[in-house]
Amino acid sequence: MGIQEIWEKLESRFSEMQSIRRYLHMHPEVSYKEFETAKYIADFYEEIGMPYEKNVGGNGVVATLTCGLPGKTVALRADFDALPIQEETGVSYQSTVPNVSHACGHDGHTAILLTIAKTLFEHREQLHGTFVFLHQHAEEVTPGGAIEMVEAGCLDGVDAVFGTHLWSPYESGSIHTCPGPMMAGADSFELTITGSGGHGAMPHTTVDAVALGAQIVSTLQQVVSRRINPTSSAVLTVGSFHAGDAFNIIAGSAKMNGTVRTFDTVIREQIIFEMERIIKGLCDAAGATFQLDYTRGHPPVINDDEMAQFVLDTMEEIDGIDSAHIMEANMVGEDFSYYLQKRPGTYFFTGAKPLEGTAYPHHHPKFNFDEQAMVTAAKALATVGIQFNKQ
C-alpha cells in the first residue's frame, strides 16, 4: 500500500470531516467542562472498534492503534476545548451555546485526528508501528490538559509526538514550523494596589490608586525595553486596569491583570524580579501596599531540531501542500510544550486562511477558517506519523 492511497482516502472524507467539525462547532464546551465532547470522541472510537481510554488526566481520551508491521510508536495530538466567547460569524452551523464558541479551531483539530485514526485503522495491517491518538481537554487555560495527560501516562512507550494547529493568518496549502523555540511561555499576573481614597477635591488627604497604578503601568513598560537584553525576546502586557466608580472620588484601590511571554526561564525570572522591585518601590514611595499574584503558565513550545527538519522534509512529498516554511517564533502560548518536554517532536501550523472575507484572528468572535485546510492538515499529520514509524 502506498502513501498516495492514504491521501486519497483522507481527501474523500472531507465531507465526513466537515460534518464532525460542524457538529462540534454547534455544541462547544469550555475547558474542563468538555464532558459531551469527550463522550463524542470516545463513542467514535467505540464505533470503529479501536481500543481507547477515557478520563485520561481529566476529560482526555487516548486511542491506540497497533499496526501489522514492526516500527516505532508515534503520538498525534488534537485539543478539543472551546472558549467563553459569543460567536458572531453568522454561519449556518453557529454555536448553539450562549457565550461559548470554537473561536480557535479546536473543533477542526478533533475532526482531523478522528479522520486520520479511522483511515489508518482501515489500513493498519500495511502500516508500521503504533499510533497513539491524544485527544486533549483544556488547552486554553492553566494548568491545562496537556500536563495532566502527561502525568497520567499518555506518553508511556511513545518515541515522538507531533501536533498541528489550523492557523487563519497563513494561506491554505502552506505548512509552518521551526527548529527550537516556536511559541512562548505564557504567564499571567494580577496586581492589587491599596491606597487611601477620598474626595476628588482633596487629593492631599488620599493615596491615589489611579495615579499610582498609571505610574506602575508606565514604568513596567521599561522592564523589557531597559532591563532585558535586546537580543532576547519578551513581552510584558497589562491588559486590564480597573479602579474607581465616580468622577469626584479618588479611588483607594486598583486592580490590573496582564501577561508575560518569554522563551527562556532565566528571562522569565528576571522579569518577575524586576516587576516586584518596581511595584514595591513605587508603592513604598506613595505610601500604598500591594499584592502581586504571579502565575507561571505553560512553558515555551521548543521543537526538537531534528524533528522539525523531518516535518519540513516530509511536507515536500505531499500532494496538495504548496509550501513549507521555517517561521519566526511568535508569542502565542500553547501547552503542547509539556509533551515536548518529555519526548522529541514538533508542533506546526497548517495555513487555513478563509478563501473569502476577512481572516479574523484566533479568539475573535468572528473567527473562522477554510475547512478544506483540514484535509491538508490531516495529510500532513498522518504522513509525518507514518514516515516516522517506518524509520
CATH of segment(s) 3-184+300-390: 3.40.630.10
Beta strands in 219-328 (DSSP E): 234-243, 249-250, 253-262, 289-298, 301-303, 323-326
Identify the pLDDT of residue 176: 98
In angstroms, rounded to a whole number, what is the distance separating the alpha carbons of residues 288 and 213? Answer: 11
Q: CA–CA distance from 32 to each of 86, 146, 163, 279 (Å)?
A: 18, 12, 21, 34
Contacts 24+ apart (CB under 8 A), 22-27: 22/93, 22/107, 24/80, 24/102, 24/107, 24/110, 24/111, 25/93, 25/94, 25/95, 25/101, 25/102, 25/107, 26/93, 26/94, 26/95, 26/96, 27/95, 27/96, 27/97
Contact partners, residue 163, CB within 8 Å, separation at least 6: 76, 77, 78, 336, 339, 345, 347, 348, 381
363 is in an annotated binding site: yes
pLDDT of residue 1: 57
- CA gap 366, 88 in Å, rounded: 5
Q: Does the annotation list 283 as a binding residue?
A: no
Residue 316, annotated as binding a ligand: no
Does the bond joining 143 to the residue before it have cis omega, within 30 degrees of 0? Answer: yes
242 marked as part of a ligand binding site = no
Q: Give the CA distances from residue 52 to residues 18, 44, 180, 249, 258, in Å, rounded to whole numbers and listed in that order.
A: 23, 10, 32, 60, 39
pTM for this entry: 0.94
Phi and psi angles of residue 78, each rounded to the nearest 5 degrees, phi first: -140, 140
- Residue 128 CA, distance from chain mean position: 30
Quick one: cell of 195?
A: 491606597
What pLDDT is attached to residue 2? 81
Query: For residue 156, what is its C-alpha cell?
Result: 508511556
According to the annotation, is 165 in a ligand binding site?
yes
Residue 324: all three cell numbers together: 513549507
**Domain range 185-298, CATH architecture:** 2-Layer Sandwich (3.30)
**CB 96 within 8 Å of CB 26:** yes
Q: What is the mean pLDDT of each run of 10 residues along the chain (391 residues)?
A: 90 98 98 98 98 98 98 98 98 98 98 98 97 98 96 98 98 97 97 98 98 98 96 96 97 98 96 98 98 96 98 94 95 97 98 95 98 98 98 89
* In the chain, domain spans: 3-184+300-390, 185-298
Per the CB < 8 A criterion, the answer to whether 208 and 250 are in contact is yes
Residues assigned a catalytic role: 81, 139
